[in-house]
A = this chain, B = another copy of it.
Amino acid sequence: MPGKKSPENERREEILQAAFRVALRRRVAGLTSREVSADAGVSNGLLFFHFRNRQELLLALLDWLLAQTILAHAIREIPEPGLAEVCMAKAIREAIETMPRHREQIELFFDYWFTASHNDELMRKKIRAALGRYRRSYVPLARAVVAESPQRYRGVTPGALASVATGLIEGCAMNLVMNPKSFHPGGYAGAMAALLREPRGIMNLSAD
C-alpha cells in the first residue's frame, strides 16, 4: 500500500542497514537490489527512489563502513618526551586487541577492495584515501620515535616507519579474518613482543 510516509531519511538509513546485512551474507559482489529491499521490508522500486542506482548504494555503504572500522581511529596522542616508542607500542597493541570487535566490518572492508572496486576508481580512491589517512596519522608519532633515537633509525624515514606500523596491524587483520578460530590477540602480541625484546634483533642483517 503506497503512500505511507516515513519521517526524514529514516527509510534511507533502514535500507543502508539492510544492505550491510546482505553484504555480510552475500559479499559485495553478490548483493542484489532485490535482496536488499526484501531485507529492508520495502519494495524494489523504493530502493531506486532513495538511491539512484546500485553503485550509489554501495558507495553510501562504503562511507558508513569506513567510519566504523579502526581506520577511522586515527592516532591523535602526542607522546611525552622520551616515551615515543612506548606510546607507539601501546597504539599498535590497542589496535590489535580491539580488532576482534570489528571483525565483520573488516572482512567487508577487504571485500570492497578486492571485488567491488576493480572497475570503480571512485571506490578505490575512497579506500586508498582512508588507508592513507590512517597511515599518515602515525607519521608524527613515527617522527618522534625517529627523533628520539637518531642513530638507531638512521636512514629510516618517518613515513616508512609508519608504513611498517600500520602494516603490522593490517597483517594482523588478515590473520583475524582468514583464521578467526586460531587467532588470539594476546598470544600474537606476546610473540611479537618477544621478537623485539633482544639486542641482536632477528631482522638485523647487513643493511642493503
Interchain CB contact under 8 A, A198 and B167: no
Per a CB cutoff under 8 Å, which of B92, B110, B170, B191 touches A175? B170
Flag A163-192 by CB within 8 Å of B: 1 or 0 each. Answer: 110011111101100110011001111111
Contact of A196 with B195 at beta-carbon distance under 8 Å, contacts A90-B205, A115-B114 already known: yes
CA of A114 to CA of B195, assembled, Å: 30
How many Å from the CB of A187 to the closest CB on chain B? 5
Is A197 among interface residues, defined by CB-CB distance under 8 A?
yes
A153: B residues at CB distance < 8 A: 194
Contact of A196 with B190 at beta-carbon distance under 8 Å, contacts A114-B110, A118-B27, A131-B179 already known: no
Is A51 among interface residues, defined by CB-CB distance under 8 A?
no
Report A15-53 residues with CB < 8 Å from chain B CB.
26-30
Is A3 among interface residues, defined by CB-CB distance under 8 A?
no
Is A68 among interface residues, defined by CB-CB distance under 8 A?
no
Interface size on A, residues (CB 8 A): 68
- Protomer copies: 2
Is A98 among interface residues, defined by CB-CB distance under 8 A?
no
How many Å from the CB of A137 to the closest CB on chain B? 15
A208: B residues at CB distance < 8 A: 186, 189-190
CA of A110 to CA of B203, assembled, Å: 27
Show 20 A/B contacts (Cβ-Cβ < 8 Å), sorted by A: A26-B119, A28-B115, A85-B202, A89-B203, A107-B114, A110-B110, A111-B115, A127-B178, A156-B191, A160-B191, A163-B187, A163-B188, A163-B191, A167-B175, A170-B174, A171-B172, A189-B208, A196-B196, A198-B201, A201-B201
How many Å from the CB of A183 to the closest CB on chain B? 8
Per a CB cutoff under 8 Å, which of B26, B119, B187, B207 touches A118? B26
